[in-house]
Amino acid sequence: MDFKKTNANQSIVTRDIRKFDGQTGNIYEAVAIMSKRANQISTELKEELTSKLQEFGSNNDNLEEIFENREQIEVSKFYEKLPKPSLIAVQEFLEEKIYYRNPTKNPE
């Protein structure tokens, strides 16, 4: 999923919790699903950011190069401005974009 094009809010918003239990029938199960998805998103974003920042790395870094690398600073600022993984997960859950299954309810 492209997290850069998400329509999740940038900040915390008051939500009606009754909307969360509509899909699962249980608010706690819904929160567990969203938290697991937020962990997945966080891991993906961290890996993506790390790979982009490694492109700027060199073997002989000196103090001047670290402070002068504007491209690296811009990449970092871009990722800082993205919505938090938990907010992206909530938005995906409300838009029914998350696939989940409960093996105790539907053993297959």
Nearest C-alpha neighbor of 72 from the set 98, 91, 86, 54:
54
Burial of residue 69 (number of CB atoms within 10 Å: 0-12, 13-18, 19+)? middle
- The CA distance from 85 to 60, in Å, is 34
SS3 helix, strand, coil % of the chain, rounded to 5? Answer: 60, 0, 40
Contact 96, 23 (CB under 8 A): yes
pLDDT at 33: 93
Q: Assign 34 a pLDDT band (cuts: 50, 70, 90).
A: very high
- Phi, psi of 7, rounded to the nearest 5 degrees: -105, 25
Cα(92)–Cα(49) distance, integer angstroms = 21
Q: Please report, rounded to a whole number, the percentage of residues in the chain having pLDDT higher than 90.
A: 25
pTM higher than 0.85:
no
